[in-house]
């Protein structure tokens, strides 16, 4: 089967991709219930902060570590270490579980969609407990196997996170589909700045600077009523 990389990438970023992203708000539900986010402008500022202070400085560096490992002949151990470094910085247990569930489902799906590609390094590492197969790690590995450049892989991850965030908000807030799509378009333009941040950092320098979001992720499990798993 002939692979068309850019179309395969589009399928990977489709909001309908069944990896469970629609089940997780990663603390956004708590923000809305506590009325810390009640308008579209506040939501957009929240997404911008997550992009530039969490996804770009943490998850993107997992993707970067994978590409650097591939350039060094497949020394994957460093990438697995960076994944754990980023993952243990997720304070909320629900959010840790959520990104693991999404990653494992994406790996299963990618292997079924493209069986001609070599998934064994990641699958074997997950079976052995060497890696956690979180969403960012699997996304990066899939992009690597599809032959996508690092910059596009990172920006694609940002886009997937943006779509998940806005999609969650559409179910939590009074906001229409047109307004949501316009917001996605504006936030997508910000992925270029996110890439510049990620490009300037070594994977070992990964960090997150979203303390309020972390607190909201922790509080989610004690909400009286919930639409989302995290």
In order along the chain (230 residues), what is the average pLDDT of each group of 10 residues? Answer: 84 85 91 95 97 98 96 89 96 94 95 94 96 97 95 96 95 94 96 98 96 94 90
DSSP state of 55: I
- Number of structural domains (the chain) is 1
pLDDT score of 1: 63
pLDDT score of 128: 97
pLDDT score of 5: 87
Let me know if residue 82 belongs to a domain: yes
CA distance 110 to 115: 8
CA distance 155 to 133: 19
pLDDT score of 16: 82
Let me know if residue 17 belongs to a domain: no
Let me know if residue 31 belongs to a domain: no
Let me know if residue 10 belongs to a domain: no
Let me know if residue 193 belongs to a domain: yes
- Torsion angle of C-alpha atoms 12, 172, 178, 101, degrees rounded to 10: 0
- For residue 54, give the nearest of 150, 185, 152, 162 by alpha carbon: 162
Instruction: Give the 3-state secondary structure of residue 129.
Output: coil
CATH number for the domain spanning 214: value is: 1.10.4190.10
Is 32:166 a contact under the CB 8 Å cutoff?
no
What does pTM read for this prediction?
A: 0.95
Residue 150: give the domain boundaries.
38-220
Let me know if residue 70 belongs to a domain: yes
Let me know if residue 74 belongs to a domain: yes
pLDDT score of 221: 92
Let me know if residue 32 belongs to a domain: no
Q: Which tokens sit at 227?
A: 């639409």
């Amino acid at each position: 089967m002939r692979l068309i990389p850019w179309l395969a990438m589009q399928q990977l970023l489709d909001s309908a991709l069944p990896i469970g992203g629609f089940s997780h708000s990663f603390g956004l539900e708590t923000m809305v219930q506590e009325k810390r986010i009640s308008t579209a402008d506040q939501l957009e500022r929240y997404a911008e902060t997550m992009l530039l202070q969490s996804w770009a400085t943490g998850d993107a560096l997992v993707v970067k570590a994978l590409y650097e490992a591939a350039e060094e002949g497949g020394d994957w151990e460093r990438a697995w270490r960076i994944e754990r470094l980023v993952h243990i910085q997720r304070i909320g247990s629900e959010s840790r579980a959520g990104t693991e569930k999404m990653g494992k489902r994406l790996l299963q799906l990618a292997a079924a969609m493209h069986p001609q590609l070599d998934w064994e390094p990641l699958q074997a590492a997950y079976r052995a407990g060497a890696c956690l197969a979180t969403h960012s790690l699997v996304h990066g590995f899939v992009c690597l196997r599809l032959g996508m450049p690092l910059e596009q892989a990172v920006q694609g991850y940002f886009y997937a996170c943006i779509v998940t965030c806005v999609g969650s908000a559409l179910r939590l807030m009074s906001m229409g589909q047109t307004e949501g799509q316009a917001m996605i378009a504006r936030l997508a333009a910000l992925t270029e700045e996110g890439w510049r941040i990620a490009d300037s950092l070594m994977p070992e320098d990964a960090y997150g600077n979203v303390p309020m979001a972390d607190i909201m992720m922790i509080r989610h499990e004690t909400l009286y009523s919930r639409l989302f798993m995290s």
